[in-house]
Structure 1
Amino acid sequence: MLTLTDISRSYGRKRVLDGVSATFPIGLTLLVGPSGAGKSTLLRLLATAEKPNAGAIAWDGAALPGARKALRAVLGYAPQAVDLPEDLTAREFALHMAALKGLDARTADLQFGAITERIGLHADINNRIATFSGGMRRRLVFAQAMLGAPRLLALDEPTAELDGETAAQVSALIVERAAEAVVVMTTHLADALAPQAVQVLRVDQGRVAPQ
């Protein structure tokens, strides 16, 4: 379980999150709200990519920053925007990310193959990322986040730029992982996924509340 208590995050004079308290249990949590409301900022805090200006984050009852190493060891994170290494193949990039997570290379390679097979990317895993379209890049970022069967999965619009069939394939994998993990996700498919979510939270004007 992941818990936020009175979290605030500002950039200069602009306060994006203001006194947010929320609990994320095992299962799928959907974040909804208008563009610029703070959904991506909230995901970056959950993924320890940023630190709050105030408040506390706890993973399995242990507070960060002390629990940051333990949280990162079980984390999968797919941000909406990421600079990918254009000169690497998709497989090389995935194995590099697996190494950073401390995963066994052979196991990670097998997992990557299975995931990319499910989402229609497997035929391109030995091609350089420079040749990838936006949708292919989105699938690659999602696939690396899934490596290691993470117990905490933070996903920022993982189905954006995907056709309907591929979006459904990605969504199916997310729902499967949510049976065993805390999954927090922003998506334009929130209405379709809401019946399979344990909660839908609305982010607006720096606050978070049940939808």
Structure 2
Amino acid sequence: MELVIDKVSKKFKNKLAVNNFSVSLSNGIYGLLGPNGSGKTTLLRIIADVVNPTEGNIYLDGKSKKVLEEDYRDLIGYMPQDMGFYKNFTPEKFLYYVSELKDIDKRVAKEKIVELLKLVNLENDKDKKIGRLSGGMRQRLGIAQALLNDPEILILDEPTAGLDPNERIRFKNLIANISKDKIVILSTHIVSDVEFIANEILIMKDGALIGKAIPSEFTKQLRGKVWSRAITEDELYELDSKYKIVNTYRDEDSIVVRIVGDEKPLECAKAQEPNLEDVFFYYFSHKAEGEAL
């Protein structure tokens, strides 16, 4: 299966949210990385056929999404960033409701709902009202509804928001296990969500695709651009205003900073082996702010 996003752009009034985005995807897990406001959510809505692009098109195995219409949508499983739930529904009732919207046979839906409630660890909470569930539990329910029709293209927008560390691990294992024979697009600004499960990383900035590669290729490009040095607490503020500091940690009486940049930032700074978090901070300021488009 091949999904081709061909020169897709989306403009809202004077804001170009997606800018001439082109990429070809086959079966596997793709991590879509970018800061808030980079256009990730708008791109996923276009792929999920929720909104239409201003320009460009999407093709599945050479056929236009516009021609495929319902046949295309039948292959999509979509978890939006902000799931709309009926608070008085129970998880089980909500999944039955979504299965009817997706026109899934009732007998098939019954078996699938039992399977998915177990898969996302909600089987013991299936009769609770959604309004009483925690944010993490509602997030897991959102993942379950996206899987109801056993989609071939699974689109997940910030799926781990609200999950605790154990739930994050469970989610990543879940995605790794179900990704066979599927295209999975996972949008996030949290690098650890995709670092070890994504086959390829797509980096998005200002609505455009600025890089596509396997994680090790991105980290290889950053060799010689990641440094660490022990400093005093008084030096931290000054350095933070001058350099991109990925993280800091205390080591006895000093603070060790990890910095990314094209030039060696300080005397006695030691070169470090890059990781994907360094890549993210290299391309995007860690102070980036704004709402997702």
Q: What residue in structure 1 maps to residue 37 of structure 2?
A: 36
Moved more, 184-193 or 75-84: 184-193
Contact 2:5 2:58 in 1 (8 A): yes
Higher relative contact order (Cα pairs below 8 Å, separated by 6+ residues): 1
Instruction: Tell me how far apart the structure 2 counterparts of residues 127 and 110 of structure 1 sit (CA, whole Å).
Output: 20
Moved more, 160-169 or 182-191: 182-191
Moved more, 11-20 or 114-123: 114-123
Instruction: Tell me how far apart the structure 1 counterparts of residues 51 and 170 of structure 2 sit (CA, whole Å).
Output: 30
Report the Cα offset of residue 204 of structure 1.
Answer: 0.2
Q: What residue in structure 1 maps to residue 186 of structure 2?
A: 185
Contact 1:149 1:177 in 2 (8 A): no
TM-score (norm 1): 0.94
Secondary structure at the aligned position of 1:194 is classed as coil
Q: What residue in structure 2 maps to residue 210 of structure 1?
A: 212
Q: Map residues 139-154 of structure 1 onto 2, 5 A cutoff.
A: 139-154=140-155
Residue by residue over 1:18-61, the C-alpha shift from the partner in whole angstroms, topping out at 9 and shown as x without a partner, is: 11101121110110011110111111111001100000111221
- 1:2 and 2:6 correspond: no
- Structure 1 portions without partners, runs of 5+: none
The amino acid across from 2:100 in the alignment is A
Moved more, 48-57 or 185-194: 185-194
Q: Which segments of structure 1 move beyond 6 Å, counting only runs of 4 or more?
A: none
Moved more, 192-201 or 39-48: 192-201
Report the Cα offset of residue 189 of structure 1.
Answer: 4.7
Secondary structure at the aligned position of 1:71 is classed as helix
Q: What residue in structure 1 maps to residue 120 of structure 2?
A: 119
Report the Cα offset of residue 191 of structure 1.
Answer: 3.5
Report the Cα offset of residue 180 of structure 1.
Answer: 1.3
Q: Map residues 85-100 of structure 1 onto 2, 5 A cutoff.
A: 85-100=86-101
Q: Map residues 122-201 of structure 1 onto 2, 5 A cutoff.
A: 122-191=123-192, 193-201=194-202
Secondary structure at the aligned position of 2:66 is classed as coil
Q: What residue in structure 2 maps to residue 74 of structure 1?
A: 75
- Structure 2 portions without partners, runs of 5+: 214-293
RMSD, matched Cα: 1.5
Report the Cα offset of residue 119 of structure 1.
Answer: 2.4
TM-score (norm 2): 0.69
